[in-house]
Amino acid sequence: MEQTSIILSIIGAFIGGAVLSFFLWRWFLGVKSSQLIKEAEAESEVIKKEKMLQA
């Protein structure tokens, strides 16, 4: 292989890794945020019921 081909392969691998990392990170944040929202909704229901019982 030529030296140019090796350099281009390395650059391509870095770009491919960056793109893959970006999409995996977005997916992870999406899953995490939906879990946080579900937990917050469940907690708000508990607080709402406690306030209704106090009134």
Q: Could you state, in order of their start, the residue ranges of all structural domains in the chain?
A: 25-55
The separation between the first and the last C-alpha atoms of the chain, rounded to the nearest angstrom, is 79
Q: Grade residue 38 by pLDDT with cuts at 50, 70 and 90.
A: very high
| Exposed e or buried b per residue across 7-16, where buried means at least 16 C-beta atoms within 10 angstroms of its C-beta | eeeeeeeeee
Using a 10 angstrom Cβ sphere, with 0-12 exposed, 13-18 middle and 19 or more buried, the burial of residue 34 is exposed
Across residues 23-33, what is the average pLDDT?
Answer: 94
- Tell me how far apart the alpha carbons of residues 48 and 52 are, in angstroms, rounded to a whole number: 6
Please report which confidence band the pLDDT of residue 53 belongs to, taking 50, 70 and 90 as the band edges: confident
pLDDT at 12: 96
pLDDT score of 22 more than 80: yes
| pTM, entire model | 0.60
Q: Which two tokens stand for residue 11?
A: 């650059």
